[in-house]
């Protein structure tokens, strides 16, 4: 192995790239993190001094699906491209990148700058055909592994949802008990506010008029904070038109369990786009799954009227 390391390589820095996909892995899978940091000993054995080994660990807790937001990986690629790096160290290929384009870009730059790559299994020179071929295969296998893991995870989620067993975020007016049973919010004021929305809409047939009714009567509408230091806390504010429509169209208020009402996609510029899915294409719709505020028949009538 040491025969591949020349004075040319030792005149440059050795960069150790450390990454874990999630913050939970960083906290719980400490052995993997320790093994990654321990690769510094391999660099020392190959001739690099301690002060010439640079550790990049700012991507800890970031998914490896894409390096677009990985400042650590971008820094690594930039330093290799500038000819500052003689050796790149990573626990395995998947620690560097799980995306083929990102991985092959790094291989290409390493080959051009005569930079070596080292993992737990060996030392590689991307400028040589055999090592380049092996590293390319490793990258492809790593990306395939990620795809398989995602498919299995998604399949498990969908199967659980179809049974109505997947725990979902509940709309306002419902809470989980300690045994994960869905019940009406024990706050009677919350219940009264929800029922007033349905009562007003049934009387007026208009979401806008329902909003006007709440404001004329100085009635506030409840919300539970979804994030932040006060997550889960109840707050009251003026009702908005979208609040009314959300209630009128959500099957949970008729006691139904539903999954797959919307689909989220990411645009080329990284923005999330949420699109409604026709009922025929919902993953799961289980009626009478839990207590509700109105009957299913009333829900069908209300939803149809709201669409009109």
Residues with active-site annotation: 21
List all residues 6 or more positions away from 18 whose beta carbon is below 8 Å from its beta carbon: 33, 36, 37, 55, 56, 57, 59, 60, 95
As a residue count, the chain comes to: 308
As a whole number of angstroms, the distance between CA 251 and CA 292 comes to: 9
Q: DSSP readout, the chain?
A: -GGG--HHHHTSEEEEE---SSHHHHHH-HHHHHHHHTTHHHHHHHT--GGGEEEE-TTTT--SS--TT-HHHHHHHHHHHTT-EEEEE-SSHHHH-SSHHHHHHHHHHHHHHT-EEEETTEEE-TTSHHHHHHHHHHHHHHHHHHHHHHHHHHHHHHHHHHTT-S--PPPTTEEE-TT--EEE-S-HHHHHHHHHHHHHHHHH--HHHHHHHHHHTT-EEEEE--SSTTTT-EEEEE--HHHHHHHHH-GGGGT-EEE-SEEEEE-TTS-EEEEE--GGG-SEEETTSS--SS-HHHHHHHHHHHH-
The closest of 139, 122, 85, 104 to 4, measured between CA atoms, is 122
- Structure-block tokens of residue 219: 């009635």
The count of other CB atoms within 10 Å of the CB of residue 196 is 17
């Amino acid at each position: 192995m040491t025969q591949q390391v020349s004075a040319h390589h030792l005149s440059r820095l050795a960069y150790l790239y450390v990454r874990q996909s999630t913050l939970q892995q960083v906290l719980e899978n400490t052995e993997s993190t320790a093994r990654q940091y321990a690769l510094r000993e391999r660099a020392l054995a190959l001739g690099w001094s301690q002060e010439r080994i640079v550790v990049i660990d700012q991507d800890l807790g970031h998914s490896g699906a894409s390096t677009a937001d990985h400042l650590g990986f971008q820094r690594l690629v930039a330093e290799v491209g500038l000819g500052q790096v003689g050796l790149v160290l990573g626990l395995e290929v998947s620690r560097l990148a799980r995306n083929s384009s990102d991985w092959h870009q790094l291989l290409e730059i390493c080959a051009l700058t005569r930079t070596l790559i080292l993992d737990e299994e060996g030392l590689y020179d991307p400028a040589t055909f055999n090592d380049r071929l092996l590293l390319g295969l490793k990258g492809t296998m790593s990306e395939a592994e990620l795809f398989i893991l995602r498919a299995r995870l998604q399949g498990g989620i969908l199967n659980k949802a179809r049974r109505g067993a997947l725990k979902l975020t509940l709309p306002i007016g419902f809470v989980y008990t300690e045994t994960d049973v869905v019940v009406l919010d024990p706050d009677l004021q919350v219940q009264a506010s929800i029922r007033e929305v349905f009562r007003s809409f049934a009387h007026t047939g208009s979401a806008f008029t329902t909003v006007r009714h709440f404001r004329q009567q100085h009635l506030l509408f409840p919300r539970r904070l979804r994030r932040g230091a006060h997550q889960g806390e109840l707050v009251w504010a003026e009702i908005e038109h979208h609040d009314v429509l959300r209630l009128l169209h959500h099957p949970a208020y008729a006691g139904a369990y539903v999954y797959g009402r919307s689909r989220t996609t990411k645009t080329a510029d990284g923005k999330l786009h949420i699109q409604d899915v026709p009922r025929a294409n919902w993953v799961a719709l289980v009626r009478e799954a839990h207590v509700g505020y109105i009957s299913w028949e009333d829900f069908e009538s209300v939803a149809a009227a709201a669409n009109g």
